Structure 1
Amino acid sequence: MLTPAKITNHHFEASGRNAYKAESVDSFIKEVAESYEQVFRENGEMFKKINLLAQRLEEYRNDEDNIRNALLTAQRAADRITKEAQEKADKLVAEVTERTNTENEKLDAAAKEILTKAKYQADSIVEEAQKQAKEIVEKAVTDSKEASVNARSDMIKELAALETMKQEVTKFKQQILGEYAAQLEL
C-alpha cells in the first residue's frame, strides 16, 4: 500500500532532459489509484456499517414506542371491559328492579329473591370482568416488560458493536496517521 511519504519521495526514471519515462509514470499512477481505491472502499464499508447500526438503533426505539402503545391499548381495553360489565350489571339490576316494582304484594317475596339473585349475578359478572381485566393488564405489563428488556438488551449490544466499530475506525485512522507521520520523518 502506498503511503504519502512514498508518493512524495517517488522518483521517476528519467527519459531525457526534464522528462520521465511514460511507463514509469503510468505504473506509479496505477499503484496510487489502486491504493486509493482500497482505502476508499474500506471507508465506504465502515460508513455502511455505521449507518446500519444507526438504523437498528432507531428500530429499537420504534419497538419501545410500540410496546408502550400496546400497554396503553391493553389498559384501555381493560377499562372498556370493566365499564361494559358494570353497565350490563346496572342494566340487569334495573330490569329486575322494574319488574319487582310492578308485581303485586303477593309476589313481593319472590321479587326480592329475584333481585337478590340478580345482584349476586351482577356482582359475579363485575368481579369476573375485573379479574379478566386485571389478568389482561398483568399479561400486557409482563409482555411489555419482557419485550422492553429484550429490546434494551439488543440495543445495548448494538451500541456496544457501534462503539467497538468507532474504536476500530479511530485506531485505524491513528495507525494510518502514525504510518504517514513515520514516512514523512524519513
Structure 2
Amino acid sequence: MYKPADIDNVTFKGSFMGGYNQEQVDNFLLSLSKDYEKLYNENEDLKKKLTILAQKVEEYRTQETNIKNAVLYSQRIRDEATVEAEAKSKEIIEAAEKVSKDLIDDVEEKAAKQREEEEKRLADFKAQNEKEIEKEKKALDQIKKEVSDFKLKLQELYKEHLKTILSLPTYEEPKEEEKIFDEKPEESKGVILEPIENEQVAEETEEVEDNSNENEEAEQEEAVEEKTTEAYIDKEKVRRALDLQDTIETEQVKIDFNIKD
C-alpha cells in the first residue's frame, strides 16, 4: 500500500505527443496525497485502536478463561467436597445406625432376658404362694372343722351343764304340819326318846343324802372343770384359727397386689 510520501515523490516521464498537463497532474497528486494521508492516518489510528481492542478482547478472553477455570475449579472442589461430605455423612450415618442397632439389640436382649427372669421368678413365686395358700386353706379347713367340732362340744357341754343345773336339788320351805310335828315332842316331856330317835334317823338320812349330794356335786364340779379346760383349749384353737385366717387373708392381698403389678 502506498504511503502519502510515495505519492508525493512519484514522477512521471514526459512524452512528446499527447502527454498530460504536468501542473494539473501535480495538483491532483497533491490533493490525492493529502486525502490519502488523511485516510492513512485514520487507518493507522483505527489499527491502533483495533490493536488495543484486540488486546482488551484478549485480556477479556484470558480473564474469561481464568474465570471459567476458577469456576470449574471451584465447581470441581465443590463437587469433590460434596462427594466427600456425602461419603463421610453416609459413613457417619451408617456407623451411628450400627451403634444404635447394636444398642437397641443389646437393650432388647437384656430386656427379654430380664423379662424372662421376672416371669420365671413370678411364676415360681406364684406357684410357691399357691402351694402356701393351698396348705393354709387345708389348715383353715381343718381349723374350721375343729371350730365346728368345738361348737358342737360346747353345745353338748352347755346341755350337760344345763342338765346338771336342772338336776340340782332345790330348797323347799318346811310345811306347817312338819313344824307342828316337830313342836309336839317338846310339850310332852314323857315321850322325848322317840322323837329324838326319829330325829337322829332323819339326821342320819339327811347326812347320807348330803354326802351323796356332795359326791354328785364334786363329780359335777370335776366334770365342769374338765369341760372348762377343754373349752379353754378349744378357745385357744379358735384364737389361733382366727389369727391364721387373718394371716392368710393378708398374704392373699399381698399376692393379688404383686400379681397386679
Structure 2 distance, partners of 1:176, 1:60, is 32
Q: Residue 56 of structure 1 contacts residue 158 of structure 1 at CA under 8 Å; is this kept in 2?
A: yes
Q: Residue 154 of structure 2 contacts residue 231 of structure 2 at CA under 8 Å; is this kept in 1?
A: yes
| Residue in 1 that maps onto 2:155 | 61
TM-superposition CA deviations, 1:28-52 (whole Å, max 9, x none): 9xxx99x979856753552242132
- Give the CA RMSD over aligned residues: 4.0
| Residue in 2 that maps onto 1:106 | none
Q: 2:169 is paired with a residue of what secondary structure? A: helix
Shift of 1:127: 0.4
The list of structure 1 runs, each at least 4 consecutive aligned residues, that deviate by more than 6 angstroms after superposition, is 35-38
**2:207 is aligned with what amino acid?**
K
2:196 to 100, 110, 120: 120
Structure 2 distance, partners of 1:54, 1:167, is 17
Q: Residue 60 of structure 1 contacts residue 155 of structure 1 at CA under 8 Å; is this kept in 2?
A: yes
1:148 to 211, 224, 235: 224
**TM-score scaled to structure 1, two decimals?**
0.51
| Residue in 1 that maps onto 2:251 | 175
**2:216 is aligned with what amino acid?**
A
Q: Does 1:73 align with 2:167?
A: yes
Q: Which runs of 5+ in 2 are unaligned?
A: 1-117, 173-177, 182-188
Shift of 1:176: 2.6
Q: 1:75 is paired with a residue of what secondary structure? A: coil
Structure 2 distance, partners of 1:68, 1:144, is 11
| Residue in 1 that maps onto 2:146 | 52
**1:142 is aligned with what amino acid?**
A
Q: Does 1:161 align with 2:237?
A: yes
Structure 2 distance, partners of 1:71, 1:118, is 38
In 2 relative to 1, CA 156–138 (structure 1 residues): closer, same or farther, beyond 3 Å? same
Q: 2:154 is paired with a residue of what secondary structure? A: helix
In 2 relative to 1, CA 118–68 (structure 1 residues): closer, same or farther, beyond 3 Å? farther
Larger mean CA deviation between 63-72 and 162-171 belongs to: 63-72
Length, aligned pairs only: 127
**TM-score scaled to structure 2, two decimals?**
0.38
| Residue in 2 that maps onto 1:17 | none
Larger mean CA deviation between 115-124 and 40-49 belongs to: 40-49
TM-superposition CA deviations, 1:40-97 (whole Å, max 9, x none): 6753552242132222233133224323423543527x98xxxxxx9xxx8xxxxxxx
Structure 1 distance, partners of 2:158, 2:212, is 19
The structure, 1 or 2, with the larger RCO (C-alpha pairs under 8 Å, 6+ apart) is: 1
Q: How does 1:81-120 map to 2 (within 5 A)?
A: 115-120=191-196
Identity fraction in percent? 7
Shift of 1:175: 1.2
**2:164 is aligned with what amino acid?**
A
Q: Residue 67 of structure 1 contacts residue 148 of structure 1 at CA under 8 Å; is this kept in 2?
A: yes
